[in-house]
């Protein structure tokens, strides 16, 4: 686990260094524990006015129920479409106004979130990220809009030889194992996912006990502790 944490944090700082072409030097990774007991790995670099975060929760698309395959994928596409008091438009405008990059992704084995912000907007960026993971709205309009985009993509793949071959390979290689089901689901399973399914996903999959967090950039260990509790403190244990 130590290696996983170090890899996440080191990867963050490497990407930051590449952006501004700093001379190569040793990377110091610090373990930070918030007042609320949340742990993260930090690579502090005060010369860069940017804070970057990656978080991964264990358990991704392979945990989707077979009749709701694509649940993690739809959740990753809609969690930033409104949260807390912000509807989809207001949430996206808040991110845009402050040049905050916030998003989610899924794989077979993990569900992840990323955040990048100018250091002067760090507190608000953490607040918005915290809302997205603890109080996502999953309002009907953005969910149906994005579901429609995914269904259109799935329809196109039905006539794409590469997509068909890839799906056949996974079915042949993994049989009845959950890895065989497509991460994006099928037309039938994607259509079957409800708002309650998405809300249950967020409550059940995103917990303090199964996440790995890495930070890089212009933030100190002392500052990070309180911000970790702001973003992640309301998650279930």
Q: What is the pLDDT of residue 18?
A: 37
Confidence (pTM)? 0.85
24: DSSP letter = P
What's the rounded Cα separation, in Å, for the pair 176 and 164?
18
What CATH number is given to the structural domain containing 216?
A: 3.30.830.10
Residue 138: inside a domain:
yes
Q: Where are the beta strands (DSSP E) in 59-135?
A: 101-106, 110-118
Q: Please tell me the total count of domains within the chain.
A: 1
In a domain, 34, yes or no: yes
Report how far Cα 28 is from the mean position of its chain's Cα atoms: 25
The pLDDT of residue 27 is 77
pLDDT given for residue 228 in this prediction = 96
Any residues with CB less than 8 A from the CB of 28 and at least 6 apart, and which?
A: 43, 44
Residue 25 has what pLDDT?
58
How confident is the prediction along the chain (237 residues), in pLDDT tens digits per residue? 444 444 444 444 444 443 334 455 567 899 999 999 999 999 999 998 999 999 999 989 999 999 999 999 999 999 999 999 999 999 999 999 999 999 999 999 999 999 999 999 999 999 999 999 999 999 999 999 999 999 999 999 889 899 889 888 988 888 888 898 999 999 999 999 999 999 999 999 999 999 999 999 999 999 999 999 999 999 998
Helix, strand, coil share (%) of the chain residues, nearest 5 = 55, 20, 30
Q: Residue 123 half-sphere exposure, CB side, CA atoms within 13 Å?
A: 3
For the record, the structure tokens of 6 come out as 């170090």
The answer as to whether 237 is a domain residue is no
What pLDDT, on a 0 to 100 scale, did the predictor assign at position 12?
46
What angle do helix axes 140-157 and 71-78 make, rounded to 10 degrees? 130
Domain that holds residue 205: 2-232
């Amino acid at each position: 686990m130590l290696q996983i944490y170090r890899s996440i944090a080191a990867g963050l700082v490497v990407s930051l260094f590449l952006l501004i072409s700093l001379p190569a030097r040793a990377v110091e990774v610090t373990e930070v524990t918030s007042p609320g007991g949340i742990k993260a790995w930090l690579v502090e670099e005060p010369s860069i006015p940017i804070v970057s975060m990656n978080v991964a929760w264990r358990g991704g698309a392979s945990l989707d129920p077979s009749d709701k395959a694509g649940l993690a994928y739809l959740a990753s596409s809609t969690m930033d479409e409104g949260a807390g008091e912000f509807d989809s438009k207001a949430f996206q405008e808040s991110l845009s106004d402050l040049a905050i990059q916030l998003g989610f992704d899924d794989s077979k084995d993990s569900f992840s979130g990323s955040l990048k912000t100018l250091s002067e907007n760090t507190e608000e960026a953490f607040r918005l990220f915290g809302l997205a993971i603890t109080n996502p709205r999953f309002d009907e309009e953005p969910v149906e809009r994005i579901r429609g985009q995914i269904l259109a993509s799935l329809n196109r793949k039905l006539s794409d030889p590469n997509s068909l071959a890839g799906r056949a390979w996974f079915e042949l290689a993994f049989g009845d194992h959950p890895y065989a089901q497509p991460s994006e689901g099928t037309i039938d399973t994607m259509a079957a996912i409800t708002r309650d399914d998405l809300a249950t996903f967020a409550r059940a999959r995103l917990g303090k006990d199964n996440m790995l967090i890495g930070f890089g950039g212009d933030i100190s260990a002392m500052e990070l502790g309180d911000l970790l509790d702001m973003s992640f403190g309301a998650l279930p244990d």
